[in-house]
Amino acid sequence: MFRFELARQPVLRRLRCCIRPASLVTAFLFGIVASPGLGAAAYPSPSNPLEATTSDAARQDAVRSIPMDRIADEDREKIKTVLSNVSIFRRMPVRVAECDPMLYLFVVRHPDVVVNIWELMKVSRLQLRQIDEDRFELREPGGAAVNFEYVYKGHDLHVLYGEGEYSGPLMTRPAHGRGILVLKCGYVRETNGRYYVTSRLDCFLAIEPLGIELLGKTVSPLMGKTADNNFIQTVAFVGNLSRTAEQNTAGMQNLATRLRHVSPEVRARLIDVVGEMAKSSDAAGRPNHAEQTEVARRPVDRLER
């Protein structure tokens, strides 16, 4: 049990929120989203560009955002394979969270840290393990088995490629698929020194024809909304993680030492990041870390289409 207190609440209790992370990656990589291809009503192109959509305009914009010329040849071919046979596309709703940019980049590039915290909180039974540099393996009790890798990493853009299968209880046989996630983010620093991060996630999925038929018989239109809510709640959780790290440095650093399903190097780096955040906070919000300073100098990305 964690004894460090923040506003009379243990660190893990403060971090707890109503999230449903168990189906997040499954939703992204195995078509558990509303789609015309699955016989469900797609979201129309919304008048509000911050809402979720499956429109052709959003899809074309997402494709253009992938920096193909800066991706390795082997990975570029994988991406082209998915893009040439897209079964499902979805742009998740754009979200804004108050979050330290350095911590945001850290958890985006080390998702096993967030999942391990969820395990400690007992809100998820996901198993996400790093198997190599930029490569991860995910297993979900609900039936998902996914291997994914980062094929491009930048301050404001990350591209992931994944392969796997889904064999849920409603399906008579496994569905195989390949997917691409494109995470675009923008940073702004307000006059009071607080940072806000805008996140937009585009998802492409290519499912084998047999999988399309099976999913079409089992997936309801509500699953698209479930995927959206999971993304919204996950971004909110990262914001909560940042606030907790800033206000209870010792508690968060102690929490980092309890993460047994991440490498010692990643644990040590998380402790350092939290320490740097504390120093920045003591300096009245003035960033004193190279990565944070570089982010602060960048123009704000409004994530316009």
Crossing angle (nearest 10°) for helices 222-247 and 249-257: 120
Average pLDDT along the chain:
77
Q: What is the CATH number of the domain that holds 226?
A: 3.30.530.20
**pLDDT over 90 at 258, yes or no:** yes
- 295 Cα distance to chain centroid: 19
> What's the confidence (pLDDT) of residue 49?
74
Number of structural domains (the chain) is: 1
Here the tokens at position 270 are: 């998380």
- Does the pLDDT at position 205 exceed 50? yes
Residue 303 lies in a domain: no
| 165-202 pLDDT tens trace | 877 666 677 778 899 999 999 999 998 888 999 999 99
The model carries a pTM of 0.80
Contact 114, 25 (CB under 8 A): no
pLDDT confidence band for 222 (50 / 70 / 90): low
* Residues 6+ away with beta carbon under 8 Å from 94: 49, 50, 51, 198, 199, 200, 303
- When pLDDT is averaged across residues 36-53 and rounded to a whole number, the result is 53
3-state class of 133 per DSSP? coil
Residue 251 is assigned to a structural domain of this protein? yes
Single-letter amino acid, residue 208: E
Give the CA radius of gyration of the chain: 19
What's the pLDDT at 288?
41
Helix (H), strand (E) at residue 27 = helix 24-29
pLDDT at residue 60 above 70?
A: yes
The pLDDT of residue 3: 35
| Percentage of the residues of the chain whose pLDDT score is greater than 70 | 70
Cα of first residue to Cα of last residue in the chain, in angstroms, is 46
Cα separation, 153 vs 140, in Å, equals 25
- The phi-psi region of residue 8 (left if phi > 0; otherwise alpha if psi is between -120 and 50; otherwise beta) is left
| pLDDT surpasses 50 at 301 | no
Q: What is the per-residue pLDDT for 123?
A: 79
- Which of 66-80, 104-118, 140-154 has the lowest average pLDDT? 140-154
Question: Whole domain around residue 54: which residue ranges?
Answer: 21-297
Q: Which residue has the higher pLDDT, 204 or 124?
A: 204
- Burial class (CB within 10 angstroms; exposed 0-12, middle 13-18, buried 19+) of 223: buried
Per-residue pLDDT band for 229 (boundaries 50, 70, 90) equals confident
Q: Is residue 3 part of a domain?
A: no
**Residue 304 in domain:** no
Per the DSSP assignment, residues forming a β-bridge with 148 are 136, 162
CA angle 79–152–109, rounded 5-degree value: 125
Contact 92, 228 (CB under 8 A): yes
- For residue 255, tell me if it sits in a domain: yes
Residue type, 54: T
| pLDDT at res. 224 | 67
4-8, 112-116, 141-145: range with lowest mean pLDDT: 4-8
Encode pLDDT of 16-42 as tens digits.
644 444 444 444 443 333 222 333 333
- In a domain, residue 211? The reply is yes
Instruction: Give CA–CA dist 206/89, Å, rounded.
Output: 9
Tell me whether residue 148 is in a domain.
yes
Q: Where are the alpha helices (DSSP H) in 89-193?
A: 101-109, 111-121
Cα 21 versus chain centre, distance: 10
Distance CA 23, CA 223 (A): 10
Estimate to the nearest angstrom the gap between the alpha carbon of 167 and the chain centroid. 22
Give residue 10's pLDDT band: very low, low, confident or very high (50, 70, 90).
Answer: low
Locate tokens 């307000």: which residue? 190
Query: When comparing pLDDT for 197 and 291, which is higher?
Result: 197
Predicted confidence at residue 168, as pLDDT, reads 67
Residue 14, domain member (yes or no): no
pLDDT over threshold 70, residue 284: no
